[in-house]
Every structure is written in structure tokens, then in C-alpha cells.
Amino acid sequence: MQKVYLDNAATTQLRPEVIAKMQAALGVYGNPSSTHSFGRSAKTGIEKARKTIAKYLNAHPAEIIFTSGGTEADNMILRCAVRDLEVKTIITSKIEHHAVLHTAEELEKEFGIDLWFVDLDDCGNPRIDHLEELLKKNDSKKLVSLMHVNNELGNLLDIEAVSNLCKNCDALLHSDTVQSVGHFEWNLEETKIDFLTAAAHKFHGPKGVGFAFVRRNSGLKPFIFGGAQERGFRAGTESFHNIIGLEEAFVQAYDNLEDEKKYVSGLKQYFTAQVKKELPGAKFNGLSGDMDKSTYTLVSVCLPFSQEKSQMLLFHLDLKGIACSKGSACQSGSDKGSHVLTEILSADDLAKPSLRFSFSKYNTKEELDYVIGVLKEFSND
């Protein structure tokens, strides 16, 4: 049976170069906090990784905090901003990742902050005019949290416009860039964002490691207490081999970005063209079918199948060796539908199956032809 993996927005295949670096790193077993040579060797590797990431992002090494991934980093930034920076209002959207939405909801309960949601247009884009209205609504200290690439729709946020608006209104800006880092270039000296988050497993690195960018002199205090790791901000012995894997995946992603972006963009263009040709009545959710206004790494398709057929679709695809997501992988196993699609689709389209197909350098056009053929066969049964 042919096996086709088109769920790269959920997680990605490790690069061989990453595996090799991590295998070597497993032999460096000293505690990075120890002062002897074994510990110093590990500490040197971690600080080198921090400097490498900072260089590619045009940031300062002290602004890179290693975490267990994007969810922890999102929680850390939102919670610490309320606790330490006198943030009284969080402005976000209803289609953010649950790492942001659920954290903001808990902070509303715990600290009594105001939680405001920016209006969305029909495609799922935050309305900049409404965001400006909310920012000017009162004089409370505000934190805006909007993701750069939506993990279900692929919509691209105009991060420059949002960052400029936040600065003009004296508001802090956090962006969940888990679907963005490793796939788009960043210059954090020019883009005046205060906080962003990343996860290695979204760009062919290991699971269980990521980082937060926290701009210098932010005023944030320790999130996890204990030792003095991560400049005292996040206690706990660092996962050396994972950090080394993150560094290698990061370097490989950016050193090969131009070529791989061109290749993966070609796959998406081909797939969207085949969907239009072979599956009449299919629709692209949000702006995922627009190459200029969405990420080149994914497409979300609403398929013209009946509710009865829809219940068997994912099962059928799995039997055919095809991996993709119904909405987001973070929703799998849940009886609830996608909170993102619920916000933007009509009742009729919500009754139809929507699938997210996400691509990587390891996919081929032949695989996409196979997937289209399986979907076409299923629609005709």
C-alpha cells in the first residue's frame, strides 16, 4: 500500500542531518549547569545554538529562551505579561490556536482581565480597523496576540501593519509563529514585535523543544522556578540533544529556504489546480487557495460530499495510506468541530468535510496525484 504523509502542519519528518547531530549530542551527557569540563561542553553547545538562532532572526542571543515547544512558550508569555507587566486587556481572535485561546480564558478567570476578540472578515482575517478601535477603546495596558500563519486556514497576517499599529497605540504584541518560523524569514530588528514562539517539530526538528523570543528589557520575570537555567527565566536542566536538533533543523530550514519554498509552493499550486479540475464543487477555506495571501505549506479544502459519506472519509483515506487532518491535528479525538472553521463557514459548508493537506520537501507530485485519485474515486462511489 502506498503511504502518503500530507500532515506536515501537525508535525514533520526529521531531517537526516538533524538525526545525525542529535545522535552525536546524546554522547554529551554533562549537566550544562555544572562547572566541570563535561558540563561546560554541554553549556557551550546550548549557547552556540542560542547565538545561531538569534543571528538568523536578527535578534540578540539573550532574547532567545528555550522551551518544551510552542504551547509552553505561548502560556509563558501571556501569563507573565499579565502577572509582570500590568496587562489588563488581552486582544486576540477566535481562530487562534488553543494554546493562546485557552490561556487567555484562564487569565480572564484568574486575574479578571478583559478579553476582547477582534472581528474577522469572511475569509478569517482579523480586521485591522476593528483592532485599532479596540486598542483605542480605553487606556488599559494591552497585549495583542495574533498568529502570523493560521494553523488551519494558512492565512497570512499582515504582521508589519499589526506591529506598527500596536507600537503607535503603546500595546504589546505577541505572535504565535509556530507555523511560520522555519518557513518565512524574520528580521526582528525591523519588525517591532515583542514576543514570538516557535516549535522545532514544525520544521523537521525534534518534538519537545522550541523557543520564545522575548525582547530585551521586557520586564518579564521567571515562569518556572528552580535553578538559574535560561538566564533564570525557565528553571530545569536543558534538553541538550533536543536543543542541538532544533539548531540543526533551524539552520537547514533557513540555508535551504529559497529552494525548498519554491519546491513546496509548486506542490501546493499543483494540488490546488488538480482539486479544481478533478473535484467540482470543492472550495478552499479561508485564503488557503491564494498563493499570495496564505502560506505555501498548506491548503484547507471543503469537499462536496454528503454527511453520510463524510463520516467515512478520514477512515477511507487512512486505509489508502493517506495522512491528513480534519481541521487541525490538535482537534483529533474531539467530538467538537474545528473552532476555526465554525467561525468562518456557513452552516451548509460546516456539514461537509473539510480536510487540511500540508506539504513538505519530502512530498512529490506523484503522491498528490494518488491522493486526488483516491478522493475522486471516493466521490464517485
Q: Enumerate the active-site residues.
A: 330
**Rounded CA gap, 54 and 11, in Å?**
23
Longest Cα–Cα distance of the chain, Å, equals 68
- Assign residue 323 a region: left if phi > 0, alpha if psi is -120 to 50, beta otherwise? beta
- Assign residue 73 a region: left if phi > 0, alpha if psi is -120 to 50, beta otherwise? alpha
Give the neighbor-by-neighbor strand order of the sheet with 64-67: 64-67, 210-214, 195-199, 172-176, 142-145, 89-92, 114-117
Q: Is 325 helix (H, G, I), strand (E, B) or coil?
A: strand
Q: What is the 3-state secondary structure (H, E, C) of 333-356?
A: CCCCCCHHHHHHCCHHHHCCCEEE
**Rounded CA gap, 96 and 309, in Å?**
29
For 68, the grid coordinates are 518544551
In total, the chain counts a number of residues equal to 381
DSSP state of 242: H
**Rounded CA gap, 108 and 102, in Å?**
10
Q: Residue 230 carries which side chain, given as an amino acid letter?
A: E
Contacts of 84 (CB under 8 A, 6+ apart): 219, 220, 221
Q: Residue 289 carries which side chain, given as an amino acid letter?
A: G
**Rounded CA gap, 299 and 271, in Å?**
9
Give the Å distances, CA to CA, from 182 to 14, 68, 171, 363. 13, 17, 27, 17
